Every structure is written in C-alpha cells, then in structure tokens.
C-alpha cells in the first residue's frame, strides 16, 4: 500500500476503509463519520500538509446500498503529492460533514455537488443551489435516474410568439 495511505490507516484505523492506486493516482476510501477528522489531519499534519484543494466531486451508483460517493481531491505544495479522499453516503440519509472550515474553497464546490447530486453538507455556511435556478423543480440533474432532456419543466414555460406580431 502507498505510504500515505498507510499513515492514514495507522492514524484512523476505524475510519479508514481501503486504498486504491491506479495509473499513479492514490485514492483513499474512508467512513463518512471520519471524513472531517481525516480532512483536518490531511491539512494540518506536517507529513501530509495538503493545503491546496483541487476539486470536490460526486458519483452516483444507483444500484448500490450506499448510493452516492463524494470525492475530495487535495494536493500538498510542500511535498507535491495528491490524495483523493472518497466517502459513501446512502440515499435516505444524504448528509456529509462539510470541509469548508478546513479549505474555504470547498464552499462553492460542495454547493455544486449539492446542486447536481442532492448531497447535503452539514455545517455548510450557504447550502443553496449554485448553477441551476433556485426554483428548479426537477431534482438533481447529474443523478443517473435524471433523463438527459429533463423532466418537462421547460415545456410549461410561456414563450413569446414572435411570428404573431407582424
């Protein structure tokens, strides 16, 4: 196993689930309850020093018990390493602890995850939609059960009949 993953496992034996290394990327899967503590450890521990947040993303696996996966990717400027931290959430209890207090940039990225996938973040300062309209009624567009063409909201719009004027 990658030495960084071993460090995380040694420090969080309960929260750590598995580590994958593929094509040179290191990904660590952790329990949802331990995510915030591990985030804090990654930022503050001198051997990790992951001060730069790269992205926050989410993946939908509709057939699995814990349906959603939240992905954080962080980078250390000092050590020049990249770690991807993943955690799983079930649909009926769709909450993850926000990491906004550790990396302030997570604010917009988590809002995007909420907007697109419907995963809510505890202790987030401003949990609103960001790209879709505030009154968007159709749910969360990047879920796998959301059709590509939408669910018909657009068909209810009133359009100006431009041809009729002339």
Partner 1 sequence: MAHLEDQRETIYKVDPANPETKDLPILRTEELLLNMGPQHPATHGVLKVILDLEGERITKSTVVMGFLHRGVEKLAEYGTYHQFIPHTDRLDYVCAMYNNFAYCRAVEKLMNVTVPERAEYLRTIVAEVQRIIGHLFWLGTQALDIGAMTVFFYTFRDREILLDWFDELCGARLTTSWYRIGGVERDFTASLETRIRDFLAYFPPKIDEYVVFLEKNRIWLARTVGVAVISAEDALGYGLSGPTLRGSGVDYDLRKYESYGAYPKCEFSVPVGKNGDTYDRYWIRIEEMRESIKIIRQCMDQMPKEGPVLADVPSVTLPPKNRVFTNLESMIQQFKLFSQGFDAPPGEIYCGTEAHKGELGFYIVSTGGGKPYRLKIRSPSFIHMGAFDYMAKGYMIADAVTIFGSYDIVMGECDR
40 counts as binding partner 1 under rule CB under 8 A: no
Token pair recorded at residue 22: 């593929």
What lies within 8 Å, CB to CB, of 80 at 6+ separation is none
E strand or H helix at 115: helix 106-117
Nearest to 38 by CA among 85, 3, 2: 85
**CB closer to partner 1, 1 vs 131:** 131
The site for partner 1, by CB under 8 A, has a size of 35
Q: Calculate the alpha carbon distances from 68 to 114, 125, 141 in Å.
A: 11, 22, 14
Taking the complex as a whole, the smallest distance from the CB of residue 10 to partner 1 amounts, in Å, to 25
Q: Interface mask (CB under 8 A) for partner 1, residues 48-77, using x and -?
A: ---xxxxx-x-xx----------x-x---x
Binding mask 93-132 for partner 1 (x = CB under 8 A): ----------xxx-xxx--x---x------------xxxx
Distance between CA atoms of 124 and 104, rounded to whole angstroms? 10
Q: Which residues pair with 50 in a beta bridge?
A: none
Residues that bind partner 1 (CB under 8 A): 22-23, 25, 27, 51-55, 57, 59-60, 71, 73, 77, 80, 82, 84, 103-105, 107-109, 112, 116, 129-133, 141-142, 146, 148
């Amino acid at each position: 196993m990658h030495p960084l993953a071993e460090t995380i496992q040694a420090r969080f034996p309960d929260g750590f689930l598995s580590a994958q290394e593929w094509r040179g990327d290191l990904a660590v899967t952790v329990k949802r309850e331990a995510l915030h503590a591990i985030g804090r450890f990654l930022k503050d521990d001198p051997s990790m020093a992951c001060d730069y947040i790269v992205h926050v993303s989410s993946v939908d696996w509709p057939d699995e018990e814990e349906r959603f996966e939240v992905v954080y990717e962080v980078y250390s400027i000092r050590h020049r390493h990249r770690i991807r931290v993943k955690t799983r959430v079930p649909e009926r209890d769709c909450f993850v602890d926000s990491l906004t207090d550790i990396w302030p940039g997570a604010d917009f990225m988590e809002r995007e995850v909420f907007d697109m996938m419907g995963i809510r973040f505890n202790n987030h300062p401003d949990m609103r939609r960001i790209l879709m309209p505030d009154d968007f009624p159709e749910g969360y567009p990047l879920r796998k059960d959301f059709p590509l063409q939408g669910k018909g909201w657009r068909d209810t719009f009133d359009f100006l009949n431009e041809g009729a004027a002339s």
